[in-house]
Amino acid sequence: MIAIVDYGIGNLASIRNIIQHVGGEADVTGDKEIIEAASGVVIPGVGSFDACVTALRRSGLLSVIERQAFVSQVPILGICVGMQMMAISSEEGNEPGLGWFDARVQRLTPGGSLKVPHMGWGAISAREDSILLGSADPNQRFYFAHSYHMVCGQESDIDALARYGDPFTAAIAKDNLFGVQFHPEKSHQHGMRLFENYLRIIAVHQAGTAR
């Protein structure tokens, strides 16, 4: 079962629906016991960085999420601001991030006639060894809606790039931690494929812990 963390922010129902559509079991929950028992944890996020990280900390759920991430090492997936919160800080606000990645969030500056926020469909270029995205399909396109992007201190943490003017980080991955800047729950067949891959990652983790 995948726990979609309900801390009052995010496209919760649509994430649950797409996971269920590809054969997974998902629960939108703010219950610590359910999150602690989950085989995977999704952290959604929409709106501003400070609002999301403050709401997550006030929810009282962060400690159990971090136990799942760093003790049980279950696969964690952050979506949009849910990914950005994994950074150290953001130019969008003053609150500290979770610090799970050596990264900082900066405002998009695409230049020219390109407007911010960046909204709409965009192609990505995934790392060849990406287990969440893969590189077999060069036509992968996802739906973006953001004004800020993550700048990683470690190039090895970048799982995919996209371009809006200049290239920017579209996905991150490190051990059991994953994040995507786009909205896979709004990305039709490409989003479904991502969640199918996420279910496979969870299955591999479960098989490893069962040995």
Phi, psi for residue 206 in degrees, rounded to 5: -65, -40
- Which DSSP string do the residues of 118-187 spell out, in sequence order? EEEEEEEEE-TT-TTT-SS-TT-EEEEEESEEEEESSGGGEEEEEEESEEEEEEEEETTEEEESSBGGGS
Paired tokens of 40: 């995977």
**Is the separation of the CB atoms in 193 and 146 below 8 Å?**
no
**CA–CA dist 194, 192 (Å, integer):** 5
Catalytic-residue membership of 183: yes
Paired tokens of 138: 């060069």
The catalytically annotated residue of 52, 80, 118, 190 is 80
Paired tokens of 109: 């500056």
Catalytic-residue membership of 196: no
The secondary structure of residue 87, as a DSSP letter, is S
**CA–CA dist 78, 179 (Å, integer):** 4
Catalytic-residue membership of 52: no
Catalytic (active-site) positions: 80, 183, 185
